[in-house]
């Protein structure tokens, strides 16, 4: 049974197959499909979501299946039923579980106890579904991954952790510029390097962005970090993707942001809404990759 807790749960071959299937499904969108007929997906959310929730739900609908949005506080989980009992009971009704959680332990425990595939829809440690969409977007604009230079500017957070592993699997060179104290998880840095990632960690955004094919950023205050907001806004000053930083990248560099964005903080409105930004394609691709992921996880390909 396939769980997706980390992007590194996929081999290079599985990742390529998933992206190929995603492209096919993207082309075929609008045709009637029933690959997931009679299949149901439970979607547990401890945190808010726009893209993840809607794209998973639409993916299930368009493939002939059904998705159930389960707000954590509306479940008995919120009244201290155990994660394990929840996983075992849900496994008697449905065919896969996605969960967006504060603590990665929660999604790991769901996977340990469930008899169906469990997909991490964002935890404090990783956001693998986001990376699937990012990789499809990069492949659409740049072709092959090998040799591409990608720069991450800002917080070494959950998305950045998954990016390190994705870069390792696909052979992209990755440079990360974060303020001191906000570097990505050291264990995941080591894991990415062991997987062969050409990884540089710096405190200089210009150094990271120089010669980049792809610039990527995310919010300075992730869900769960709200109590640190004031300090973070101070600490991240200078780590914004703006027109000047973009000039250090290659002239055909594309700009990614997983969204939601805060114009004027991690990125200027001019860049986010500018000609090099591909953030709407990136957001759309969540739908196509998750269709492919669900078909693979539910063994319907």
- Residues classed as catalytic: 100, 127, 130, 218, 258, 286
Which of the ranges 7-15, 67-75, 214-222, 241-249 carries the binding residues for ligand NVA, by CB under 6 A?
Answer: 214-222
**In angstroms, how far is the first alpha carbon of the chain from the final one?**
14
Q: Which is nearer to ligand NVA, 62 or 218 (CB)?
A: 218
Q: Which is nearer to ligand NVA, 6 or 158 (CB)?
A: 158
State the Cα–Cα distance between residues 211 and 180, nearest whole angstrom. 23
Q: Which is nearer to ligand NVA, 157 or 173 (CB)?
A: 157
Q: Which is nearer to ligand CP, 50 or 200 (CB)?
A: 50
Whether 207 and 190 have beta carbons less than 8 Å apart is answered as: no
Count the Cβ atoms, other than its own, within 10 Å of residue 229.
11
Q: Which is nearer to ligand CP, 60 or 113 (CB)?
A: 60
- What's the order of all strands across the beta sheet hosting 198-202? 198-202, 173-177, 149-153, 214-217, 254-257
**Residue 219 near ligand NVA by CB under 6 A:** yes
Minimum distance between the CB of residue 91 and ligand NVA, rounded to whole angstroms? 27
Residue 99: closest CA among 16, 180, 4, 171:
4
DSSP 3-state of 215: strand
Count the Cβ atoms, other than its own, within 10 Å of residue 211.
13
Which of the ranges 36-44, 96-104, 156-164, 193-201 carries the binding residues for ligand NVA, by CB under 6 A?
Answer: 156-164
Residue 201: closest CA among 219, 189, 218, 210:
189
Whether 160 and 152 have beta carbons less than 8 Å apart is answered as: yes
Q: Hey, which residues between 224 and 283 contact ligand CP (CB under 6 A)?
A: 258-259
**Residue 218 near ligand NVA by CB under 6 A:** yes
Which of the ranges 3-11, 45-53, 56-64, 70-78 carries the binding residues for ligand CP, by CB under 6 A?
Answer: 45-53
50 contacts which partner out of ligand CP, ligand NVA, none, CB within 5 to 8 A by kind? ligand CP
Whether 146 and 135 have beta carbons less than 8 Å apart is answered as: no
**Residue 49 near ligand CP by CB under 6 A:** yes
Q: Mask of contacts with ligand CP, 105-134, x by CB under 6 A?
A: -----------------x-------x----
Q: Interface residues with ligand CP (CB under 6 A)? A: 49-52, 122, 130, 258-259
């Amino acid at each position: 049974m396939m769980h997706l807790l980390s992007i590194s749960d996929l081999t290079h071959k599985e990742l390529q197959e998933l992206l190929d299937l995603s492209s096919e499904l993207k082309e075929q969108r609008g045709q009637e499909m029933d690959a997931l007929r009679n299949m149901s997906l439970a979607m547990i959310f401890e945190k808010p979501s726009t893209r993840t929730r809607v794209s998973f739900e639409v993916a299930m609908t368009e493939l002939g299946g059904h998705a159930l949005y389960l707000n954590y506080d509306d479940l008995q989980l919120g009244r201290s039923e155990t994660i394990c009992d929840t996983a075992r009971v849900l496994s008697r009704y449905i065919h896969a579980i996605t969960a967006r959680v504060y603590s990665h332990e929660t999604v790991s425990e769901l996977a340990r106890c469930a008899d169906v595939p469990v997909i991490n829809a964002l935890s404090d440690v990783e956001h693998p579904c986001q990376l699937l969409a990012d990789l499809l977007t990069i492949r659409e604009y740049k072709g092959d991954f090998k040799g591409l230079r990608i720069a991450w500017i800002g917080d070494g957070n959950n998305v950045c952790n998954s990016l390190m592993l994705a870069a390792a699997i696909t052979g992209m060179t990755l440079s990360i510029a974060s303020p001191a104290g906000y570097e990505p998880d050291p264990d995941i840095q080591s894991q990415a390097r062991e997987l062969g990632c050409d990884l540089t960690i710096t405190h200089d955004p210009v150094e990271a962005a120089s010669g980049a094919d792809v610039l990527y950023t995310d919010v300075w205050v992730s869900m769960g970090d709200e109590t640190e907001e004031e300090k973070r806004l101070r600490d991240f000053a200078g780590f914004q993707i703006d027109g000047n930083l973009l000039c250090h990248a290659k002239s055909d560099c594309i700009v990614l942001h997983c969204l939601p964005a805060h114009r004027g903080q991690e990125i200027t409105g001019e860049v986010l809404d500018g000609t090099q930004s591909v953030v709407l394609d990136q957001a759309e691709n969540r739908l196509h990759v998750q269709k492919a992921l669900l078909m693979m996880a539910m063994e319907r390909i």
